[in-house]
Chains A and B, each alone.
Chain A
Amino acid sequence: MTDNKQHQIITSWEEDLFNALKQAEVKQLPYVPDAGHSKVINMAHRDPDIRPVVLTTEEEGVALCCGAWLGGEKSVLLMQSSGVGNCINMLSLISNCNFPFVTIITMRGEFGEFNSWQVPMSSATQGSLELMGLNVQRVDEGDDVGSTVAAALYSAYSSDQRIAILLSQKLIGSKKW
């Protein structure tokens, strides 16, 4: 290097998200895939210290996270907004037992959505989560992803909080058809 400019390492929001999981020592990463989560899922599959768990339905992940914490491991559930509806009754396990819980949800059915079938559940996502007692935090800017995930993991695992992070469709990009 011959110039004196400070070189900043630019990371993607996906890398920031994954780094936040690693920093917090998340060990189990249950998911039903979404295109918006695909880079993080791929990173998890390449990492020997984190176990990705592919699910048949999102509610499985809620129960898995509770079992993981019973045994002392941290986990994060990845899903898209349409999966939230599948989780509703299982979320009662979180509130009945005060389990710490973090889920990261990619939003469909909002910005530039082609598939109108995604819209009804998307519109009900935040309300459904709040009705089940979760604190919902929405992220629209890539730069905020890492810090929001890190803060949520800290809150959840320091004092048994339950937090859903919504990654907006504007952030992840609308699906190309």
Chain B
Amino acid sequence: MTVEKLNRREVVKKLISNRNNLLIISGLGSPTYDLHDAGDHNQNFYLWGAMGGAAMMGLGLALSQPKKSVLVVTGDGEQLMGVGALATISVQMPKNLTIAVLDNEHFGETGMQKSHTGYGIDLVGIAHSAGFPISRELTNMSEIEVARNDILLNNGPMFLNIKINSQSPDRSLPTLDGVELKNRFRVSLKS
């Protein structure tokens, strides 16, 4: 029996469906389009570049906003480029940070070349070895629903590797204006 892999858009919608005060950073490429497609929000910060930096940006944000939950949604290629960040995050142990990798095992933006996870490299194992107290692989929507609730418990740091199919839905593009993205995020935190 073959189990159908998850759809990235449905995953992200479900993962943030009770977001409350959740602060979200998306990694460049499809995760940014997925987050925008799930609903634009002043407390979404979309990366359009800076590959490898999403998790670390999440760490800086989580440390400065310890009472809020911070979610980083990124891709397998992006996280692999910043894989050392998993060690850096574990040293700090921010309870309010979740790193969710949408793992399609490919570099989807650049011609669907197979990524390291496609060759069997295990990000959940890497995060576990790096010291994340919670590191899970998610393959169905009921696990996504559980994770959605766990994100808001601030018992992390938590690492989620979500196996998705490698389809590329139509792009859903947020503004490219980084200054606007930064300013609206900061203003929303002050109000």
Interface of B is mostly: helix
**B45-71 contact mask (Cβ, 8 Å, vs A): 1 or 0:** 101111111101111111111000000
Number of A residues contacting the other chain (C-beta, 8 Å)?
32
Any A CB within 8 A of the CB of B181: yes
Nearest Cβ distance between residue A67 and chain B, in whole angstroms? 3
State which of A28, A56, A59, A97 has its C-beta within 8 Å of the C-beta of B60: A28
A70-B45, A92-B49 known; A63 vs B60 contact (CB < 8 Å): yes
Contact A70 B60 (CB under 8 A): yes
Instruction: Find out whether the CB atom of B53 lies under 8 angstroms from the CB atom of A90.
Output: yes
CB neighbours (8 Å) of A56 from chain B are 84-85, 87-88
Known: A55-B88, A56-B87, A99-B182. A64 touches B57 (CB 8 A): yes
Q: How large is the interface on B (under 10, 10 to 19, 20 to 34, 35 or more residues)?
A: 35 or more
CA distance A56 to B82 in the complex (A): 10
What is the CB-to-nearest-CB distance from B73 to chain A, in angstroms, rounded to a whole number?
14
Q: Is the CB of B182 within 8 A of A62?
A: no
Q: Of residues 67 to 105 in B, which have CB atoms within 8 Å of A's CB atoms? A: 82, 84-85, 87-88, 91-92
Residues of A within 8 A of B87 (CB): 56
Q: Which residue of A lies closest to B65 (CB)?
A: A71
The interface residues of chain A lying within 8 Å CB-to-CB of B85 are 56, 60
B41 at the interface (CB under 8 A from A): no
